Amino acid sequence: MKKFDVLVIGAGPAGYVAAIRSAQLGQMTACVDAWVGKDGKPALGGTCLNVGCIPSKAWLESSEYYYEALHKLGSHGIKASEISLDVPAMAARKDKVVSQLTKGVESLFKKNKVTWIPGRARLQPGQRIEVTPTGGGDTETIEAAHIIIATGSVPRHIPNVLIDDRHIFDSSGALDFQSVPRKLVIIGAGVIGLELGSVWKRLGSDVILLEAMDSFLAMADDQIATESQKEFKRQGLDIRLGTRVLSATPGENGVVVQYQDEAGDHALTCDRVIVAVGRKPELAGLGAAEVGLELDERGYIHVDEHCGTNLPNVYAIGDVVRGPMLAHKGSEEGVMVAERIAGQETRLNHDTIPWVIYTAPEIAWVGKTEKQLKAAARKFKTGVFPLAASGRAKAMGITSGLVKIIADEKTDRILGVHMIAPTASELIAEAVVAMEFAASAEDLSRIVHAHPSISEALHEAALSVHGRSLHI
């Protein structure tokens, strides 16, 4: 029987990072993963690298270049003619990016001497797992002093909407389109729905998003949600809130989607449907019930603050546990668990995990919203700076959006930073660092920011907390 110090189940961003860090700390480490790539061969990287974060960003980048060539270059005095669209080439570029990164993880495993075991793992009593090899073959039992579960998540489905990968797709299948649908319905207007909707709208689709919730981007700060909804409407995305999808039925003339809202029953016909109603933990075949692994009321693996489960020396990280389903959150949990197994006292601050929606402009935030602070009866003050007053934003031709800082009324400590702005995914890192070091709004306002830059908007928002904005 093979024996390891650490055995990781799952090779997504949580799992592969946990495995690499464990190996760096001198642990004999193995990683079991069941993913099979489009070529039929085992591949590392999980959902994020193969059919999630990375390919979706590749599509977003390509679609933005195409949109800018059609609609924005003229204002810069650049005349381009005969611009054409090659969707298969975009898809091929996306696949190349994915392949490069998954092979990169494989190289990192080799460099750090992590044993990669392609197959599906099932928990057994006594810190053992049973592995069914990818492609068939006899099962084998592996023992480990410590087990880390990082099996990730899968798309949620809804009743009467059958994924057939011809007319109706989940978020994974939507990344392999070879042509632009004339009319596209996306069920769900959350992060995934907005990003995919942005891609296909830029490429020429008529996009309708059907969202069950009555409020838009409920997890974001209300002011950011309101501003972003206006911007998406200006871009031509048709977002319909408070809708309940009853069915989606393929036919000769397309897919008929039936839904309800406060005005009654409706039906619309489209070329394709994407179901983007969120994700759920992937625990199928893990054998959780058989070994007594405790789940919470929502079906996630129950863990303590250090990601320990109720089973001795068994941990769980990433999308299978509480908290946001974000790749970077899972990766840092992987680092924390690996270091704690090695005897270090590493902790993870869940209050400073940034969120990003990769639309154009990007949406990002970290910390508390106004609504959360009001519910907790905590007094605060805010500072806001609109991008319309930013010299760099004007030069870029992207002036919609704002940066908002929320600080404690008495201590001035930054409690939350929220923004819709170009490069918000990069800009939010400054806010995360500031909050990790318990900075005040005044601290941020006294840091020199380069001019002209989008980061000046963060500086001005910090000044605005104290009524000291210089450029508005």
Q: Which of 290, 358, 348 is nearest to 321 (CA)?
A: 348
What tokens does 132 get? 């069914």
Whole-Å CA distances, 412 to 54, 373, 408, 416: 37, 14, 5, 11
- Cis-peptide into 361, omega within 30 deg: yes
Give the integer Cα–Cα distance in Å for 51 and 203.
20
What tokens does 220 get? 């974001």
Residue with token string 């769980």: 316
Point out the catalytic residue in the list 71, 451, 459, 466. Answer: 451
Give the integer Cα–Cα distance in Å for 13 and 332.
9
- Beta strands 153-155 and 279-281 are antiparallel
Give the integer Cα–Cα distance in Å for 210 and 193.
9
Backbone φ, ψ for residue 277 (5° rounding): -105, 20
Give the integer Cα–Cα distance in Å for 466 and 51.
45
**427 three-class SS:** helix
Structure letter (DSSP) for residue 302: P
What tokens does 245 get? 């999808």
Give the integer Cα–Cα distance in Å for 20 and 34.
18
Q: Taken in order 276, 280, 281, 282, is the CA torsion positive or negative?
A: negative
Indicate the Cα dihedral angle 384, 354, 211, 64, nearest 10°. 80
- Cis-peptide into 155, omega within 30 deg: no
Contacts of 172 (CB under 8 A, 6+ apart): 47, 51, 52, 155
- Cis-peptide into 452, omega within 30 deg: yes
Assess whether 451 carries a catalytic annotation.
yes
Percentages helix, strand, coil for the chain, rounded to the nearest 5?
35, 25, 40
**Residues identified as active-site:** 451
